[in-house]
Amino acid sequence: MWQVIGQTKAVSLLQRSLETGSLAHAYLFVGPAHVGKMTLALNLAQALNCEAAEQPCGVCPSCLKIASGKHADVQVMALSGETSEENRAKISVEQIEQLQHSVSLPPFEGKYRVFIIDGAEFLSIGAANRLLKTLEEPVGKVVFILLTPDEKLLLPTIVSRCQRLELFLMSPIQLEAALKTKWGVEPEKAKLLSRLAHGCLGWAVSSARDDSLVVQRAETLDKVLDIINGDSEERFAYASQMATQFGQNRGQVYARLDLWLDWWRDLLLVKTGSLDSITNIDRLDTLSEMAAGLSLGQIRSFIQSIRSAGEQLRQNASLRFVLEVLMLDIPEVSKHAQVKSAV
Ligand SMILES: [Zn+2]
């Protein structure tokens, strides 16, 4: 049984390739973070090495070993270390050289050697060129699976050597149904998680199993609300703290900005009466209060500010500067409305 849910197109294509023996030598799975790229890659590795008649069975010794990361023929390569602001980490030439050595060996215990490269966009130019050589000279019983959220960051020559499969975000309705039926999550929690997950089943399932993700999110959101209601001193302290805390890891800053964006999009939805699409459904009262104290123009303009902060960071602008500008752009929530709502 394929464990990936909601990716019918990709799964049926792979299933057909397995059945007809028309497997590609290299695959590129494209899709946003937590959409299920790694789950699908491991599932494909299982299907290739499964000992049962219906592959992947998920329960034979080979499938179990792959699931627990202990199969000698399935290697996962990813970025080691954190991405720093000055020196963006890369998958190195040395890492690819090691991989090339393994490629030349026959499978140890399974039928296929499978190499999964998670975050293929982090390949250094040198490493990408080395990998390209390997992809250009296919070896039997070896399958490469490259995972990336954005194929534009890969060398076009690498992309053209791979069979491309796109993984899509699931709708909140699909997610909610999957959480209830497959994981037995209680209805109210399933509804909330299906909204907070932004289409990513992986995040929703992890959060259903482990409350700490949702608790952490709530704490971070509380801080965001404090800052919106705070004075300029508090806002600059927040920007400075975030710049220090996340200077070594921009990914976390993007995640924090996404949370800001969610909140302001929700305010826009409340303001326009589109309550069905709200993400933070557990905070509807606070959203309504705050939306009453803001104009549509103010909300739209600040959403634009958050987006442009994200774009500037992607273009390598100074983290502290971008965050300080963003803090200056936070609109004033009308006190009148707040007083009214407090009564
Ligand atoms: Zn199996």
50 C-alpha to ligand 1 centroid (Å): 4
pLDDT attached to residue 35: 87
Closest by Cα among 120, 110, 141 to 77: 120
CA distance 326 to 343: 31
pLDDT attached to residue 180: 95
200 C-alpha to ligand 1 centroid (Å): 26
Residue 196 CB-density burial (10 A; 0-12 exposed, 13-18 middle, 19+ buried): buried
CA distance 95 to 80: 10
CA distance 145 to 114: 7
293 C-alpha to ligand 1 centroid (Å): 58
74 C-alpha to ligand 1 centroid (Å): 14
Closest by Cα among 59, 160, 154, 77 to 113: 77
212 C-alpha to ligand 1 centroid (Å): 33
24 C-alpha to ligand 1 centroid (Å): 21
37 C-alpha to ligand 1 centroid (Å): 19
112 C-alpha to ligand 1 centroid (Å): 13
Reading the block at residue 205, the tokens are: 């399932």
pLDDT attached to residue 11: 94
pLDDT attached to residue 88: 57
pLDDT attached to residue 86: 42
42 C-alpha to ligand 1 centroid (Å): 12
267 C-alpha to ligand 1 centroid (Å): 48
CA distance 96 to 133: 11
Contact 147, 38 (CB under 8 A): yes
pLDDT attached to residue 229: 93
What is the dihedral angle through the alpha carbons of 50, 55, 60, 61, rounded to the nearest 10 degrees? 20
104 C-alpha to ligand 1 centroid (Å): 25
> Could you state, in chain order, the average pLDDT of each consecutive group of 10 residues for the chain (343 residues)?
85 93 95 89 96 93 95 88 54 89 88 95 92 90 95 94 94 92 93 90 89 90 94 94 80 88 96 91 95 96 96 87 95 69 42
Starting at the edge strand that comes first in sequence, how are the strands of the sheet with 163-166 ordered?
74-77, 113-118, 142-148, 26-30, 163-166
Which position has the token pair 């590795």?
Answer: 45
